[in-house]
Amino acid sequence: MKVSHIEHLGIAVNSIEEAIPYWENVLGLKCYAIEEVADQKVRTAFFMLGQTKIELLEATSEDSTIAKFIENKGIGIHHMALAVEGIEEQLADAEAQGIRLIDKTPRKGADDMTIAFLHPKSTQGILTELCEKK
């Protein structure tokens, strides 16, 4: 595979409104977008930190994967997203190397990205998202 940098860190929060003051007031970052991704049952808030984004994730439904994650592990880092070019080829490459895919085909993510998740059981425990700018 070929990855260029950490595109974003996805962080599970109970409430975006409660979390934003830490990122803005303590760390001095600026929230530049809040967006709901209906099919993933999350609301997201984005900050820029160098070339890496911070993506806060709030569940919009009790059966959201974020709600389940927080129930099991509490709030905190949920996934790491790696920037790639040619996401289909990168996914095929990962699969060819025995990596378990959560998304067999890329789908639409937040912030104008095409995304696909790799299963943490085959990525050293880190839920890993590949993303490509549309």
Can residue 10 be called a binding residue for Zn ion (CB under 5 A)? yes
Q: Which is nearer to Zn ion, 96 or 110 (CB)?
A: 110
Can residue 7 be called a binding residue for Zn ion (CB under 5 A)? no
Q: What is the dihedral of CA 38, 64, 132, 80, to 10 degrees?
A: 150
- Please give the size of the binding site for Zn ion, defined by CB under 5 A: 4
Residue type, 86: G
Site string (39-78) toward Zn ion, x via CB under 5 A: ----------------x-----------------------
Q: Which is nearer to Zn ion, 75 or 81 (CB)?
A: 81
CA-CA-CA-CA torsion sign (36, 19, 23, 124): negative
One of 45, 116, 118, 129 touching Zn ion (CB under 5 A)? 129
Instruction: Provide the CA 88 distance to its chain's centre, in angstroms.
Output: 18
Candidates 37, 1, 7, 36; CA nearest to 131 is 7
Q: Which is nearer to Zn ion, 55 or 58 (CB)?
A: 55
Report the residue closest to Zn ion, judged by CB: 10
Give the separation between CA 49 and CA 115, rounded to whole angstroms.
20
Residue type, 69: F
Residues within the interface to Zn ion (CB under 5 A): 10, 55, 81, 129
